[in-house]
Amino acid sequence: MAEFKLPDVGEGLTEAEIVTWKVKEGDTVTINQILVEIETAKSLVELPSPFAGLVQKLMVPEGETVAVGTPIIAIGDSSSAETPGGAHAGPTEQTESDPYLGMAEKAGAEQQAREVHSGDIDLSNPAASGSAEGESLVGRMKADRGAVRRVRRPAASVQTQAAFEPTGSAAPIELDEQDESDGPAVPATSAAAAAPAQPGNARVLAKPPVRKLAKDLGVDLTALAGTGPNGAVTREDVQAAQGGFETGAERLPRPRAADGEREWREPIKGVRKMMGQAMVRSAFSIPHVTEWVTVDATRTTEFVERLKSRREFRDVRVSPLLVLARAVMLAMRRTPEINSWWDDAAQEVVYKSYVNLGIAAATPRGLVVPNVKDAEQLSLLELAQALNALVETARSGKTQPEEMSGGTFTITNVGVFGVDSGTPIINPGESAILAFGAIRKQPWVVDDEVVPRQVTTLALSFDHRHVDGEKGSRFLADVAGILEDPAAALLF
């Protein structure tokens, strides 16, 4: 019988919570089959099995937090699972009657571990450990990001767009931003439409993001009465069926007290615990300075609408956040200190020629900040696709630890909550963070006349140890200038 021990999933994590068992005692499992979902201080992680056999025992209950290296599940040989008397005949009983059989079983377990090492599972991320000796195996199932489309580059583009487009690559997805459109509503697939009408297989009119939200929340679309046009199921219908309260991008579970209790306690753990520790460390070790600027973003919103009408952007969700992200990377060319880091231990400032752009995302388990790697190398279309993928993965709880490490600059889009702006706390390991407020129609003076314009507020917090007021102000002014007139990107 082999014991699968809680693996070290990287990033210096020492413990994890057992969230959901995907198997039960008596189940037969195969190599790479998902055994359990755990929550580390970084994210939710699915652990695949390094063994094939019969689940003999779940050694840790759901909801319990255990240290790395703790045995969590025992898996035995399924071929010898039952004795004539009906009881499980574990490897220990076999070994007592035939010591050579025990040696053979151990060799088999080691062979399985070698097979896992040799490529039976994805080796791109650290995840599972688990031979009987407790060595660490490498491998974790990647988050499902859906179908990937090839990026088709246009033969020509307008001057303003060309200024935003260096070369690069990324995977396509969907974004949760200030643009509230969900794309066209689509009926069930042709295969589903051709199938006979049965419970759970009925045609449902719903937009792709609504279908994704229903899947994430475990809501059966066929059981809902759509309130949208032509009876389409809307995001609000799904959220109402799930039963929770809105916090911007998604609904979170509503805390419930026991009958008669006026207050209750919940343990601080996992992602929320790590977030709290990081924010305290940052707030009391980095001298924050925050500057604000109010911007007429009317031309940016008009530019976004033009992008939506272009053929290559029709399958990508586009919003002003995309323009802001590009503006940030262009402004860094004039103020590289924004994309550097104060290494206090070495007493050095580390400058970076790459931009790992983080987007702060609220999830049911706390704030996470995944980042787009080498974002400065992506075209505008590829950046839009990458931002979509980042937010979708975060909302589904599938963000992996390595996707949240190595960030160089962060944008927190508080505008999705209807908030004008704030004083954000710098993410540890970075030197600045930019808060993007809600875009609202407000009176604005243009050529000595008061006219309605789309106005937003940006707030930049930066590390005053090496980013002085002149550099922070220049960077913020450059970003604001591009939002006011996207054609200004040609000047960078």
Which residues neighbour 353 within 8 Å (Cβ) at sequence distance 6 or greater? Answer: none
Tell me whether strands 15-21 and 65-67 are parallel, antiparallel or unpaired.
antiparallel
Q: Is 377 left (phi over 0), alpha (psi -120 to 50) or beta?
A: alpha
The rounded distance, in Å, linking the Cα atoms of 438 and 419 is 6
Is 466 one of the annotated active-site residues of the chain?
no
How many whole angstroms separate alpha carbon 56 and alpha carbon 1?
8
Q: Which of 88, 117, 464, 466 is catalytic?
A: 464
What torsion, rounded to 10 degrees, do the Cα atoms 31, 37, 38, 40 define? Answer: 100
CA dihedral sign of residues 392, 139, 373, 344: positive
Q: Assign 3-class secondary structure to the chain.
A: CEEEECCCCCCCCCEEEEEEECCCCCCEECCCCEEEEEECCCCEEEEECCCCEEEEEECCCCCCEEECCCEEEEEECHHHCECCCCCECCHHHHHHHCHHHHHHHHHHHHHHHHHHHHHHCCCCCCCCECCCCCCECCCCCCCCCCCCCCCCCCCCCCHHHHCCCCCCCCCCCCCCCCCCCCCCCECCCHHHHHCCCCCCCCCCCECHHHHHHHHHHCCCHHHCCCCCHHHCECHHHHHHHHCCEEECCEEECCCCCCCCCCCCCCCCCHHHHHHHHHHHHHHCCCCEEEEEEEEECHHHHHHHHHHHHCHHHCCCCCCHHHHHHHHHHHHCCCCHHHHEEEECCCCEEEECCCCCEEECEEECCEEECCEECCHHHCCHHHHHHHHHHHHHHHHCCCCCHHHHCCCCEEEECHHHHCCCCCCCCCCCCCCEEEEECCCEEEEEEECCEEEEEEEEEEEEEEECCCCCHHHHHHHHHHHHHHHHCHHHHHHC
CA angle 132, 137, 141 (to 5 degrees): 120
Q: Which residues pair with 48 in a beta bridge?
A: 34
Which are the catalytic amino acids?
A: 464
